[in-house]
A = this chain, B = another copy of it.
Amino acid sequence: MFAHNKRLQYTVRVSEPNPGLANLMLEQFGGPQGELAAAMRYFTQGLAEDDPGRKDMLLDIATEELSHLEVIGTIIAMLNKGAKGRLAEAIDQEAEAYRALQGAGNDSHVTHILYGGGPALINSAGQLWNAGYIDSIGEPTADLRSNIAAEARAKIVYERLINVTTDPGIKDALAFLMTREVAHQRSFERALYSMTDNFPPGKLPPVPQYANLYINTSQGPGDMRGPWNQGEPWEYVDDREEQLDVDGGGGSATVELDGTSADAVAAMADRLASDPTSEPLTGLDLGVGAPKQRDGEAV
């Protein structure tokens, strides 16, 4: 069960309202690499986890991410506070209010007209948060790798936000949040490697004859070799013909149909056959130049 304390995990000091900056901050509130996605990623994994160590860790970090959602959301609320009050109370003349919305930059208009200045679960372009941002699949050897990657991405987006912010109080809070992603990445790395045999993920072994092929499908200027495709254990497949039909079965597709189904498929093919020898007049020909007259009979 959750409990909440109204004190934040990190103090938020905003030096002045800035709806344009508020809008950029939405990236980490309702964006794909943001804190709701992080919290829900770990929380849903934690609910399904049976290993006591991982379960505890997932719930610890999920709970902290909810507290980060609160910090970043509070920054947004502070940055929007002035504009929110002015619009709601119609303090400004209409023209001034319109210019303020347009001049605030990027998409902050939607935050004010639709959401009334509150933090909304959208990214900085107004895209609604959706659960497709969460990629948990319920297998820890995969999910921990997903979590490591998610923390790396979130670290970078915070870094970019820091690079466009001048307000020192916000920079401090963002640096804190960025740092915590690094710490979480470390926890997930440790958890992954405290499982024996985490590679390949899952139970089924790869098929040996295909496991070490590197298939050079993109050729031409810029072809490169490096540890990702040379040295042990790689077998480098460069020949276009060898890249095809690697099982040697012909590279075609077949299905066995029963009689009725085969007849149905044949009837469909017959009904919809294209005639490669025709030279049809088409709608396009009719569309060039002056209209042609209809006369009851087709042409």
Contact = CB atoms under 8 A, between A and B. Distances in A.
A243 B134 contact: no
Contacts of A249: 10-11, 13
Contact of A201 (B127, B152, B224): B152
A292 B194 CA distance: 9
Contacts of A179: 206-207, 210-211
Interface residues of A, number: 237
Contact of A48 (B116, B149, B202): B116
16 contacts: A1-B7, A5-B240, A5-B244, A9-B245, A16-B255, A24-B113, A43-B69, A60-B215, A132-B132, A139-B156, A146-B152, A156-B202, A187-B229, A190-B280, A195-B274, A196-B275
A200 B148 CA distance: 11
Given A10-B251, A107-B125, A121-B134, 5 more contacts: A21-B98, A63-B217, A84-B265, A85-B265, A225-B276
B47 A119 contact: yes
Contacts of A124: 109-110, 113-114, 126
Interface string A205-228: 011001111111111111111111
